[in-house]
Amino acid sequence: MRRAAIALLSSLLAFVFLTVPAKAEPPPELVVITEQASRRILVLPANQDAWSAREYTWAWVPSAANGLGDLADGWVSPDEAKLTERDGQQYLMTTASGGFVGVVPYPRGTDAYWAANVGAPNNPHSIELLPDGNVAVAASTGGWLRVYTASQDPRSTTYVEYPLVGGHGAVWDDKRKVLWALGTNDLVALRVGGTPAAPTLTPVRVVPLPSVGGHDLQPVPGAPDQLWVTTESEVLRFNKSSGTFARRYPGASVISEPHVKSVTTNARTGRVLTASPQADHVCTWCTDTVALELPRGELTLRGAWIYKARWWQPQR
C-alpha cells in the first residue's frame, strides 16, 4: 500500500513538472555600435565575452546585395545607429558622414524603407522616422534639420529645411507632437505641419544650451518629460515642462564627461551606456571601449573605431 502511494505521488509530481511551462528567459541585452574602421553597423550582446570573441548578432552595410549599391559611396564614417518600430516592423535608422542616410528593416536588412545620399559636405549625424512616414535628418556641417518626404517614395529627395547651426540630433516627441532638434547652441522644438507630401517646419520653442557644442540627443525611457543632451563639456538632462537643464541626476558624477558622443538608457534595466573618444586612439573621435553606469562596467572591442554606441531597443 505504501509503495503504491509513493508511486502515485511520484507520478503526480512528474506530471506537474512536465506540464508547468518553464519560465521564459528575458531577451539578451544588445548594443549597437557604429564601427568606422570596418564601416559597419554591428549589434552585439552586452557582455564582454561576446565582445572579446567578436560574436556579432547582426552586421550591416549598404551594398548591391541589399539594393543600396548606388548609394554606397556615401557610406563613409557611419555616425548614427538607432532602432525604431513602425506598424510592427523594426528599423535601423542610420547615417554616415559621407552623406548616406537610411531607414532599413531589421533584421532583414534589405528593401530599405527609405535611403538617400545627402552629400558628404553636409555631414549628416542623426535621423528619426516620423509618425507620418517621413524622415528627419540633422546635419552638422550643412547646418540644417530636414524632413524628407520618405512617405511618398523610398528614394525621395524632396525635403523641407530648418536652419540649425551644427545640427546633431533629432528626436520625435509623441506626447507633444513636436520634433526636437539639437544644434551647436540651441535645442529646438519644431512643429511638423502641412501634409506628408508637402511638410512644413515651424519652431515653437528655442532653448539656448548652457554649454556650447550640442552633440547627442536622446529620450530617457521611463522619464517621458526628460531628454539626454550632451555638449562638448558635459552630459545634461533637459526637462521639457520647465525648459531647464539639470546637471544633477542619478550617476551624473561619472556619466557627465567632456565630448560624450552618445548616451542611452536601457528601457528595461535603467542602465546607462555612453561612448567617448579614447585619449590614445588613432581615430581622434573614436574609442574601442564603451562605458556602462548604474551599475558601472565597460565593454571593449579591441582595435575597433567606435563613434557611437546605443542600447539596441526603441527609445520612444
Percent of the chain with pLDDT over 90: 91
Q: What is the mean pLDDT of the chain?
A: 93
Q: Which of 89, 95, 58 is nearest to 75 (CA)?
A: 95
Q: How far is it, in rounded angstroms, from Cα 8 to Cα 14?
A: 10
Q: Is 5 a residue whose pLDDT tops 50?
A: no
Domains of the chain: 26-311 (2.130.10.10)
List pLDDT tens digits, range 141-158. Answer: 999 999 999 999 999 999
Residues making up the chain, counted from first to last: 316
The answer to whether residue 4 scores a pLDDT higher than 90 is no
In this predicted model, what pLDDT tens digit does every residue of 179-235 receive, in sequence order?
999 999 999 999 999 999 999 999 999 999 999 999 999 999 999 999 999 999 999
- The pLDDT of residue 92: 98
**Best CA proximity match to 147, nearest among 164, 130, 167:** 130
Name which of 106, 200, 196, 107 is nearest 150 in CA terms. 196
Torsion of CA 78, 81, 85, 91, to 10 degrees: 30
Which residues, 6+ apart, have CB-to-CB distance to 167 below 8 Å? 125, 126, 138, 139, 140, 142, 143, 144, 145, 181, 182, 183
- pLDDT at residue 105 in the model: 98
Strand partners, 127: 137
Is the pLDDT confidence value at 166 over 60? yes
Within 10 angstroms of residue 111's Cβ, the number of other Cβ atoms is: 11
pLDDT in tens, 46-92: 999 999 999 999 999 999 999 999 999 999 999 999 999 999 999 99
For residue 315, the model assigns a pLDDT of 87
- Contact present, 100 and 69 (Cβ < 8 Å): no
Q: Which are the contacts of 187, defined by CB distance < 8 A and separation ≥ 6? A: 180, 181, 206, 207, 209, 214, 217, 227, 229, 238
Q: How high is the pLDDT of residue 6?
A: 43
Q: Which of 172, 266, 176, 275 is nearest to 221 (CA)?
A: 266
- pLDDT top residue among 175 and 20: 175
